[in-house]
């Protein structure tokens, strides 16, 4: 008999938790962009590996929209420009030491860029009804740096920042160490 | 009597737990693009039916286009146009080659219901209609940005609309222009349209949404 209140409270809590899990489930995008960072020490040993979803900027919006029709975007100088039809400009991955405040759509440059490296050629794969595109870049540093932001930059006569994010926690790359940043774009990711 | 009371109390607690939990909201989704397709059916100027779907509509042609757009310099991809012909799409650093030099955006409606596959290069039905899209519009509610593309069809005969698609004209490496299907959706609920009905199809592409 004494167990009755516990039983009733348990029923309430289980129901509440189940409902919360349903309400708080992550809404998935149809195309998602992830960024992965791997930090190696000077001996080549992996010392940190993090993956996060990356917010897209207004320039990425324009870049995507341009695949459907004409579009404009803000370049890294803050100037709004009409994007032409060319697409073959070099693509860079940038890392920085700034502290972006709520990095998002309106960003057009890193807060404090440290280094930009031309990304490896993008690779594409189709798995089932999903498409995957990935590209990466490696950074080596002669002295220790603490990286706090990453970005994806496309050059189309001007530099455009397509994605920008603050790292969930700063990543320290030791002197002589290496940082690898990989962008992964998943298309039809909800299938 | 006591058992009935306890039973009611138990059910009430379960329902109230679920109800309270349902008020929790997920934190803002960041990163990613979603596509919503809205199909509206009008008869005598009045909206009589509406289907809103949020799906995964991108074809391999779209994936290839994005892949080429993210290339640094030279890149090619063999894509299939809406007639089934193969074309080499090419990009280069000088922008001498670029698929985006083509112009023309179209939305299709059709009666086919074949399940979507990423390899789709045309609608699956035997009866389709095509319309030129309106100029895409842009609206922004930071951090989200919406691109809206739509087209309107006035039907000359009855049809059951089960699928919709979006295509655009691209230029291949030989400077030939062809139309490529970039999105296709099978509607969650078919629309039975009569001759004289107007059907509008709207794609909303949402960045960070």
Tell me the longest C-alpha to C-alpha distance in chain A: 78
Supply the pLDDT for residue B65. 87
**CB atoms B93 and A20 under 8 Å:** no
Whether A98 is in a domain gets the answer yes
Is the Cβ–Cβ distance between B182 and B168 less than 8 Å?
yes
pLDDT band of B24, cuts 50, 70, 90: low
B150 vs A contacts (CB less than 8 Å):
none
The whole-angstrom distance between A79's CA and the closest CA on chain B is: 18
Read off the tokens for A3: 């167990």
Task: Compare A81 and A65 and report the one with higher pLDDT.
Answer: A81
Is the Cβ–Cβ distance between B37 and B57 less than 8 Å?
yes
Whether A128 is in a domain gets the answer yes
Find the closest chain B residue to A86 by CA distance: B95
Whether A86 is in a domain gets the answer yes
A151 vs B contacts (CB less than 8 Å):
none
Per-residue pLDDT at B142 exceeds 70: no
Closest Cβ–Cβ partner in A14, A23, A126 for B25: A23
Task: Respond yes or no on whether ipTM tops 0.90.
Answer: no
Whether A169 is in a domain gets the answer yes
The whole-angstrom distance between A176's CA and the closest CA on chain B is: 28
**CB atoms A53 and B75 under 8 Å:** no
Supply the pLDDT for residue B120. 94
Range A156-179 average pLDDT: 90
pLDDT band of A28, cuts 50, 70, 90: very low
Read off the tokens for B172: 């291949």
**CB atoms B147 and A65 under 8 Å:** yes
A89 vs B contacts (CB less than 8 Å):
72-73, 93, 95
Domain that holds residue A43: 28-187
**CB atoms B69 and A12 under 8 Å:** no
Supply the pLDDT for residue B28. 46
Distance from C-alpha of B49 to C-alpha of B43, rounded to nearest angstrom: 9
Per-residue pLDDT at B27 exceeds 70: no
Supply the pLDDT for residue B79. 93
Average pLDDT, chain A: 84
Closest Cβ–Cβ partner in B31, B69, B91 for A55: B31
Query: What tens digit of pLDDT does each residue of B35-52 get?
Result: 889 999 999 999 999 999
B21 vs A contacts (CB less than 8 Å):
15-20, 22-23
Whether A123 is in a domain gets the answer yes
pLDDT > 70: percent of chain A: 90
Q: Where are the alpha helices (DSSP H) in chain A?
A: 4-23, 58-68
Query: What tens digit of pLDDT does each residue of B57-76 get?
Result: 889 998 888 888 888 878 88
Whether A139 is in a domain gets the answer yes
Supply the pLDDT for residue B55. 75
A34 vs B contacts (CB less than 8 Å):
31
Supply the pLDDT for residue B73. 79
- Rounded to 10 degrees, what is the CA torsion of B184, B187, B190, B196? -50
Read off the tokens for A168: 């969930």
Give the number of domains in chain A. Answer: 1
pLDDT band of B135, cuts 50, 70, 90: confident
Whether A73 is in a domain gets the answer yes
Question: Which is nearest to A159 in space by CA: A116, A130, A127?
Answer: A116
Whether A20 is in a domain gets the answer no
Q: Is A142 on the interface with B (CB under 8 A)?
A: no
Which residue's structure tokens are 């001996």?
A43
pLDDT band of A148, cuts 50, 70, 90: very high
Range B80-94 average pLDDT: 90
B33: helix, strand or coil: strand
Read off the tokens for A151: 């970005």
Judge if pTM exceeds 0.90.
no
């Amino acid at each position: 008999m004494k167990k009755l209140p516990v039983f009733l409270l348990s029923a309430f809590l289980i129901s509440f938790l189940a409902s919360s899990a349903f309400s708080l489930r992550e809404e998935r995008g149809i195309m998602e962009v992830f960024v992965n960072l791997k930090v190696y020490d000077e001996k080549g040993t992996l010392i940190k590996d993090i993956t996060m979803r990356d917010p897209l900027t207004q320039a990425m919006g324009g870049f995507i929209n341009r695949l459907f029709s004409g579009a404009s975007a803000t370049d890294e100088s803050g100037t709004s420009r009409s994007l032409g039809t060319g697409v073959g400009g070099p693509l860079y991955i940038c890392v920085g030491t700034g502290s972006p405040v709520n990095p998002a759509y309106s960003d057009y440059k890193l807060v404090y860029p440290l280094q930009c490296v031309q990304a490896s050629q993008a690779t594409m794969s189709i798995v089932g009804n999903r498409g995957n595109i990935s590209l990466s870049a490696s950074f080596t540093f002669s002295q220790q740096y603490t990286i706090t932001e990453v970005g994806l930059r496309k050059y189309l006569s001007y530099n455009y920042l397509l994605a920008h994010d603050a790292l969930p926690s700063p990543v320290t790359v030791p002197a002589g160490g290496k940082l690898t940043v990989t962008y992964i774009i998943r298309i039809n990711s909800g299938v | 009597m006591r058992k009935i009371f306890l039973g009611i109390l138990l059910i009430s607690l379960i329902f109230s737990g679920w109800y309270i939990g349902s008020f929790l909201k997920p934190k803002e989704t960041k990163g990613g693009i979603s596509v919503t397709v809205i199909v509206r059916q009008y008869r005598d100027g009045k909206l009589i039916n509406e289907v809103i779907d949020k799906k995964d509509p991108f074809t391999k042609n779209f994936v290839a286009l994005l892949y080429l757009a993210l290339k640094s310099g030279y890149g090619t991809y063999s894509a299939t146009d809406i007639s089934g012909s193969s074309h080499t799409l090419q990009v280069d650093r000088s922008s001498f080659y670029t698929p985006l030099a083509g112009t023309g955006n179209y939305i299709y409606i059709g009666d086919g219901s074949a399940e979507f596959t990423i390899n789709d290069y045309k609608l699956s039905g035997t009866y389709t209609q095509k319309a030129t899209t309106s100029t895409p519009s842009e609206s922004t509610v930071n951090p989200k940005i919406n691109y809206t593309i739509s087209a309107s069809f006035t039907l000359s005969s009855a049809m059951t609309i089960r699928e919709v698609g979006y295509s655009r004209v691209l230029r291949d490496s030989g400077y030939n222009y062809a139309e490529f299907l970039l999105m296709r959706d099978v509607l969650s609920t078919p629309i039975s349209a009569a001759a004289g009905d107007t059907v509008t199809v709207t794609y909303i592409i949402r960045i960070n949404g």
